[in-house]
Structure 1
Amino acid sequence: MKIKVIIVDDETRARSFLRKLCELYFRDKIEVLDECNSVTAAVRSIKKNQPNLVLLDIQMPNENGFELFKHFEVINFEIIFTTAHKEFAIQAIRNSALDYLIKPIDVEDFKIAISRFEQKNDSKIGIDRFKLLTENISSQFADKQRIVFPNKNGFEVIQANSIIYCKSDGSYTSIFTIEKEYFTSKTFKEVCDILEEPDFIRVHRSYLVSRNYIKSFKSEYYRLQLTNGAEIPVSEDLFTKKKLIDAITS
């Protein structure tokens, strides 16, 4: 069964480009049902055509892409956001385990996003993530920001301020919080992109540490001691002793 797609963008050229990507690389997998130039038109088309996937521009006249959610009690389709701006909302999208593409859209990024969509088969996860997105947008800079980390069974919702440190584990990442250890299918780089400075410091190529849980630094062994008893190596290539102190205290 083909993936039924609706493209939503106020720019004709952008809609045409996305259609061409679908037809060129996923002709046997994707059927583009409609192209819409506004949220209002998209709502009508979605209700009529019942797509599996909506390629949704964020910045549009009158209403931005996020306004789409207000028109649906249940969202039973997936969304890949598209935007020309790396504004704060991108962080909210990322934290909600949703996909986005930065314009100009790279072909390989587009292919990866579609492949990720194909791997998603739990509609309940989608509904929960869209609810979480609206919360993350409204409380982007809140102290108790909630972040979604996908795992093999679905996902975990973790309070960012409960994370003590994260450790690279091949293509996956271990996340150590006050309560327990979590294992996510996100790569270490993706986790580092989500948990940004100044609250989190990448002290080693395999370790990301929360400043709030650093207890002491052992310069003899070049290791940080954390409040949960863990000892984390610090890369001397990344930090001198002074630079580390500045990073922790700034």
Structure 2
Amino acid sequence: MSIKTVIIDDEPKAIAILVNKIKRFCPELEIVASVSKPQEAFDTINELQPDLIFIDIAMPGMTGFDVLQQFTHPNFEIIFATAFDQYALDAIKHCAIGYLVKPIDNEDLVEAVINARRNIEDKNALQKNKLLIENLGIQKFQKKKIVIPSTDGLEFVKVKTISHFEGVDGYTKIHFSNRKSMLSSHSIGHFKKLLDEREFYHVHKSYIINMSYVERYLNDGYVVLQGDISIPVSRAKRTEFLNQLKQ
């Protein structure tokens, strides 16, 4: 399977390095264009209709996010290649979209391409990309959505509706305020990486709670969430957690 690929980066040297790595480690990618002026990216992508784009975020005049927000039907797989800030990475990870941190590691590149190829075959890029663009335009964390891999596929849910995460035998049970819980095929550690630590707190090795749902703390080491749900707080976390509650 040949994958039509476009590279967008304002630094010609960065493009050259990535092209070289792709030729060496990912020969299934067919590089049909490279663009060093982000203002030209929209027209290039529309004309060539690639399966995959590599795009930098921090570019002069127009960021990679600005480029993507021009599309109403972004039906292509995306891999970000960037050294950008944490907010950007959070927005990307929330949508299960690939990213590489510069300087690009060879193994990370291969893994990102394998995931991209799988997503191209599953034809789920459009929904993920629309979610990314939606999240980029939203400033309040509570309105953001998160992608939850499940046994049936991918589900997109509002973060504010999640009361807590529960680790169960390597899987994660996600509990909601407005619906039945669901089981994800990912471990609880996967979700910890996605969540804002100011909004969600890892109180126990098996539990992450939404701080907005906390109603009270009990002296015997339990926090009570809305709905009278008791969650244990590990001894090592109690002092830090209480300080967090007081802030």
- TM-score with structure 1 setting the length: 0.87
The match for 1:202 is 202
Question: Contact between 1:97 and 1:150, CA under 8 Å: does it hold in 2?
Answer: no
| Structure 2 Cα separation of the partners of residues 114 and 228 of structure 1 | 43
| Structure 1 Cα separation of the partners of residues 182 and 38 of structure 2 | 38
Between stretches 103-112 and 3-12, larger displacement belongs to: 103-112
Q: How many residues are matched?
A: 245
Spell out the pairing of 1:29-178 with structure 2 (5 A cutoff). 29-120=28-119, 121-123=121-123, 125-178=124-177
Structure 1: where are the runs of 5+ without partners? Answer: none
User: Which amino acid is the alignment partner of residue 215 of structure 2?
Assistant: K
The match for 1:213 is 213
Shift of 1:57: 0.8
Question: Contact between 1:86 and 1:102, CA under 8 Å: does it hold in 2?
Answer: no
The answer to whether the aligner puts 1:3 opposite 2:37 as a matched pair is: no
| Structure 1 Cα separation of the partners of residues 65 and 223 of structure 2 | 41
The match for 1:246 is 243
Question: Aligned to 1:239, what secondary structure does the other structure show?
Answer: helix
Shift of 1:166: 0.6
Between stretches 175-184 and 5-14, larger displacement belongs to: 175-184
| Structure 1 Cα separation of the partners of residues 141 and 205 of structure 2 | 28
**CA deviation profile, 1:65-85 (whole Å, cap 9, x unmatched):** 123235443222111112112
Shift of 1:13: 1.6
The answer to whether the aligner puts 1:189 opposite 2:186 as a matched pair is: no
Between stretches 18-27 and 167-176, larger displacement belongs to: 167-176
Identify if the C-alpha distance between structure 1 residues 187 and 53 changes in structure 2 by more than 3 Å, giving closer, same or farther: farther
Shift of 1:136: 0.9
**CA deviation profile, 1:156-185 (whole Å, cap 9, x unmatched):** 222212111112245542211112212234
Shift of 1:87: 4.2
| Structure 2 Cα separation of the partners of residues 165 and 47 of structure 1 | 42
Between stretches 106-115 and 197-206, larger displacement belongs to: 106-115
| Structure 2 Cα separation of the partners of residues 224 and 84 of structure 1 | 38
Shift of 1:202: 0.6
Shift of 1:8: 0.9
Structure 2: where are the runs of 5+ without partners? Answer: none
Identify if the C-alpha distance between structure 1 residues 181 and 20 changes in structure 2 by more than 3 Å, giving closer, same or farther: same
Shift of 1:49: 2.8
| Structure 2 Cα separation of the partners of residues 35 and 187 of structure 1 | 37
Question: Contact between 2:6 and 2:34, CA under 8 Å: does it hold in 1?
Answer: yes
Among all aligned residue pairs of Structure 1 and Structure 2, give the percentage whose two residues are the same amino acid. 31
**CA deviation profile, 1:185-240 (whole Å, cap 9, x unmatched):** 444223112221222111112211112223343443x3333323433222212333
User: Which amino acid is the alignment partner of residue 153 of structure 1?
Assistant: D
Question: Contact between 1:167 and 1:208, CA under 8 Å: does it hold in 2?
Answer: yes
| Structure 1 Cα separation of the partners of residues 67 and 57 of structure 2 | 10
Question: Contact between 2:150 and 2:184, CA under 8 Å: does it hold in 1?
Answer: yes
**CA deviation profile, 1:70-108 (whole Å, cap 9, x unmatched):** 544322211111211224222222222222222222222
Identify if the C-alpha distance between structure 1 residues 142 and 215 changes in structure 2 by more than 3 Å, giving closer, same or farther: closer
Please provide the CA RMSD for this pair. 2.2
Identify if the C-alpha distance between structure 1 residues 140 and 106 changes in structure 2 by more than 3 Å, giving closer, same or farther: farther
Question: Contact between 1:58 and 1:81, CA under 8 Å: does it hold in 2?
Answer: yes
Question: Contact between 2:222 and 2:232, CA under 8 Å: does it hold in 1?
Answer: yes
User: Which amino acid is the alignment partner of residue 100 of structure 1?
Assistant: Y
Stretches of 4+ aligned residues off by more than 6 angstroms: none
Identify if the C-alpha distance between structure 1 residues 188 and 75 changes in structure 2 by more than 3 Å, giving closer, same or farther: same
| Structure 1 Cα separation of the partners of residues 88 and 172 of structure 2 | 24
